[in-house]
A = this chain, B = another copy of it.
Amino acid sequence: MCGVIGVVAASPVNQLIYDALLLLQHRGQDAAGMVTANDKRFFMHKNKGMVRDVFRTRNMRDLHGRCGIGHVRYPTAGNVDSLEEAQPFYVNAPYGLVLAHNGNLTNNNHMRENLFRLDKRHINTGSDSEALLNVLAHELDIAVKEADDLTPEEFFNAMTQVNKRVKGAYACVGMVARRALFGFRDVHGIRPLVLGERINEAGVKEYMLASESVALEGVGYHTVRDIAPGEAIWIGFDGEVFSRLCIPEGTKPEFSPCLFEYVYFARPDSVIDGTSVYSARLAMGETLAEKIRSEIDLKEIDVVMPIPDTSRPCAMQLAMILGLPYREGFIKNRYIGRTFIMPGQETRKKSVRQKLTPMPSEFKGKNVLLVDDSIVRGTTSQEIVALARESGAKKVYFASAAPAVKFPNVYGIDMPTRTELIAHNKDVEAVSREITADKVIYQDLSALEEAVRSVSQGGVKQFDASCFNGQYVTGDIDMAYLDALEQDKIDSAAAKKAAKKENKAH
């Protein structure tokens, strides 16, 4: 997953984008980048690492201009952890374009082949985002063939073609040199993109695009609306705004935002697609409470505890609904370090114990209901259950705000392969046994969807819930695709290992 920011303002934007990226840091901690624009030039800085480490004073000093875009990267399947693949990307023709992309394209290989063969464009990395930018560049080139100049009209025409050629999930911001900031979102609206504005001291409107509303609001903008699925927006550097639905003829895509954003990914203090994430998580607690009531004798439960931080609202609401005590039995360690590989020394295994400390007084002699947002690999859950038992818990129930995760996400969330998912081929009893809980309770998918819908004021009706039900909304994902994806992952891990080994051998 990634986070994107775009701004057109009346004064320098480097600090503003920096602050906004910090508010999106949870969406990607692997790399960060920024491009600003003045009347003539782009200024770019990007690097691996977290926002606070990537941008130093000397970098910030060179990021001139009152318009710009920013990006935080989470490593996804395709893009390895290289600097070259850090975003934004840049192409200089036509016009000079930069792009920052959140999501994942599902027809990357096909697209790259066409770019190389037909469009004569060189893609220098494995990144689908670089390919996407080049498709846009190519289509823009065609769109302005007959035109005197590049107007929003030509841009929207090009975007319609882009939406025809590109499959998958993409919520993007970008800039055309000397002209405009733009943003667009795939036709299913899988990844979020929000428009904000503010009136500055001089009474002039300034605009901001962001993956989540918290990034706008946290820096003093207010939310105007979500960019619609298939919509593109053009915000001239002069402040004029244009937008259009750029849905290719003959297609009628349904709006299907990613359900996992509400479960885990987005910040609770964001409102995306008209839906407060915090409210959605409270609602998940309500529906999950009903499921628990139906599966466990409530007298068997002494206390409800969240696994901090994500599941806190869900657990709290659940406890309230069930009339059970809510306690925080685990303290989360905020400072995370790394494990160094030392010649001749054994490497200490990092465990969940360095991240969570149990408070024995809360566990001793009690039956506890632990609430987490989801169970993916199951290894952490197992360690948590063990911690609870060591701390004196009698019985340990484990509730998940999300249904069983059984399929990979191909729309930008880095998930393990199917065989690594604990629930892939197991029923709930088997999962319980494996994580050594007395009982595991999963939220039902329909209940989860209902919970989110119930608090939505944005008219969201359906979701991409593919990691739960294997139904991929873009319609182009079959078993062969998933098999290939997993093989790629295995190959790339092997290649990485081999490269490391060779490094050491020389």
Contacts and interface: CB of A to CB of B under 8 A. Distances in A.
Contact of A504 (B320, B348, B505): B505
A110 interface: no
A223 interface: no
A76 interface: no
B344 A506 contact: yes
Nearest to A92: B122
19 contacts: A14-B340, A18-B340, A22-B335, A42-B124, A52-B338, A60-B342, A61-B503, A92-B134, A93-B119, A94-B120, A122-B177, A267-B357, A268-B359, A269-B331, A276-B361, A326-B326, A343-B505, A343-B506, A344-B502
Interface in A172-220: 177-178, 214, 217-219
A68 B339 CA distance: 18
A469 interface: no
A337 B11 contact: no
A438 interface: no
Chain A's interface size range is 35 or more
Interface of A: 11-12, 14-16, 18-19, 22-23, 25-26, 41-42, 50-53, 55, 57, 60-61, 90-97, 119-125, 134, 137-138, 141, 144, 150, 177-178, 214, 217-219, 267-269, 276, 278-279, 312-313, 316, 320, 325-328, 331, 333-348, 353-354, 357, 359, 361, 499, 502-506
A2 to B, nearest CB: 15
B343 A316 contact: no
B342 A16 contact: no
A19 B348 CA distance: 10
A167 to B, nearest CB: 22
A87 to B, nearest CB: 15
A55 B219 CA distance: 33
A343 B502 contact: yes
A44 to B, nearest CB: 9
Contacts of A121: 92-94, 96
Closest 9 CB pairs of A and B: A96-B122, A269-B357, A25-B335, A94-B120, A269-B331, A343-B502, A343-B506, A504-B504, A22-B337
Contacts of A25: 334-335
Given A15-B347, A52-B335, A268-B359, 5 more contacts: A41-B125, A92-B124, A93-B134, A95-B120, A269-B331
Contacts of A320: 325
Contact of A19 (B96, B219, B354): B354
Given A52-B336, A122-B177, A313-B328, A348 B15 contact: yes
Contacts of A61: 340, 342-343, 503
A26 B335 CA distance: 8
A41 B55 CA distance: 28
Given A93-B120, A120-B94, A337 B503 contact: no
A335 B92 contact: no
Contact of A354 (B23, B52, B359): B23
A52 to B, nearest CB: 5
A53 B335 CA distance: 11
A268 B333 CA distance: 10
A174 to B, nearest CB: 13
A461 B499 CA distance: 55
B41 A124 contact: yes
A499 B64 CA distance: 13
A354 B125 CA distance: 35
A96 B281 CA distance: 48
B269 A361 contact: no
A188 to B, nearest CB: 28
A26 B334 contact: yes
B137 A93 contact: yes
A348 B16 contact: yes
A336 B335 CA distance: 13
Nearest to A40: B124
Q: Which of A12, A150, A267, A334 has the most CB of B within 10 A?
A: A334
Contacts of A218: 333, 353-354, 357
A280 to B, nearest CB: 11
A503 B342 CA distance: 8
Nearest to A332: B309
A217 B90 CA distance: 38
A57 B340 contact: yes
A112 to B, nearest CB: 10
